Amino acid sequence: MQQTLSQLLEEHQLIRKVASALEWLSLRFGSSSLVDEDFLASLNGLLDYIISCHHSKEEAILFPRLAALGGDLADLVKRALEDHSAFASLAQRLRDDISEGSLSGASEAARALRIISTGRRQYCSPRPRSCSMRRSRRR
């Protein structure tokens, strides 16, 4: 299990780098036609890796063990699963934007990746003004 956790943590570092690349893209280019096709293909491969491999490992190995401990950890797993689902939707929107020649989804995807990879997430009450950023507890 320790080796799996180490690997997941290393993958979180990769995810932060992907977030930085997406942020860089969104700040410097308005159109995907201005970005090298090989770079976009690599980015697409990294998005696939995050969803298909990294999230799958967390969901199959880590999350069941955490959920079994109950309490706050079970709640954390539930939120993480919601984050995974939301990121998969964002990644698909980004792919659609890129295929249409836009990079408009890059900034939002970068923000989501950064939140997922650092354990930060936004919690809001029904009123949007009362949002705050909190760091999820890690064990």
Residue 76's closest CA among 132, 116, 131?
116
| Residues 57-75, mean pLDDT to the nearest whole number | 93
Q: State pLDDT tens for residues 9-36.
A: 899 888 888 888 888 887 887 677 777 8
Which of 24-33, 40-49, 58-67, 117-126 is the least confident region? 117-126
**Domain span holding position 11:** 2-135
Q: State pLDDT tens for residues 70-96.
A: 999 999 999 999 989 988 998 888 888
Q: CA-CA distance, 23 to 111, in Å (whole number)?
A: 8
* DSSP letter (8 states) at residue 127: S
> What pLDDT is stored for residue 129 in this prediction?
31
> pTM (2 decimals)?
0.72
Q: CA-CA distance, 90 to 8, in Å (whole number)?
A: 21
> What pLDDT is stored for residue 131 in this prediction?
30
> What pLDDT is stored for residue 137 in this prediction?
42
| Residues 93-122, mean pLDDT to the nearest whole number | 76
Q: CA-CA distance, 66 to 48, in Å (whole number)?
A: 25
Distance from chain centroid for Cα 114: 6
> What pLDDT is stored for residue 138 in this prediction?
42
Domain count, the chain: 1
